[in-house]
Structure 1
Amino acid sequence: MPEYVVLFYTHSGAIKFDRKATKNGYRVELMPVPRKLSSNCGVSAKIQLDSSINELIDEEIEKIYRICEKEYQLVYSQE
């Protein structure tokens, strides 16, 4: 199952994402942003999805990376 790291603009955005994803039945792990990635906020979320990541995207999300064999592949950027 594909695994993603989601970066946010704010801590509150990370909390809102966690609540939204959990409510929709996804398992989310909030964690510090990996060192290889940069963010305005120090909190990121790790999530596994069988479906499209697009259904979870909102204005709070800065970037989304797919984890591919210990590398991060950018799949979404609000910039």
Structure 2
Amino acid sequence: MIYYSTFFTHSGAIKFSRKCTKLNIENESGPVPRKLSSNCGVGVKFSYDGDYSELYTEDIEKIYRIENNEYILLEDYDD
């Protein structure tokens, strides 16, 4: 599955990307698409076949699943 996470801070996005890399999870950091809300403007797209909630960090604002070029909101930790 392909996921996309937004973050509360730039440093949170960087830490998450490093965590993914350390766990051999393919990931890519970049600007958040305009249609998604983000506090810091940096997001991480990642490919993961396990339970995405295992990767949770307190810096994550929202997690989306990308399916057919659509972003499906799975978790909103900003509530």
Normalization by structure 2: what TM-score?
Answer: 0.94
Report the Cα offset of residue 33 of structure 1. Answer: 0.2
Identity of aligned residues (%): 54
Q: Distance in 2 between matches of 1:77 and 1:26?
A: 22
Q: Which residue of 1 aligns with 2:39?
A: 40
**2:43 maps to 1:50:** no
Look up the equivalent residue of 2:12 and give its one-letter code.
G
Report the Cα offset of residue 77 of structure 1. Answer: 1.1
Q: Distance in 2 between matches of 1:61 and 1:69?
A: 23
Structure 1: tracts of 5 or more residues without a match: none
Q: Which residue of 2 aligns with 1:11?
A: 10
Other structure's SS at 2:62 match: strand
Q: How many residues align?
A: 78
Q: Distance in 2 between matches of 1:67 and 1:36?
A: 13
Q: Which residue of 2 aligns with 1:77?
A: 76
Task: Name segments (4+ residues, structure 1) moved above 4 Å.
Answer: none
Structure 2: tracts of 5 or more residues without a match: none
Other structure's SS at 2:12 match: helix
Q: Distance in 2 between matches of 1:70 and 1:25?
A: 24
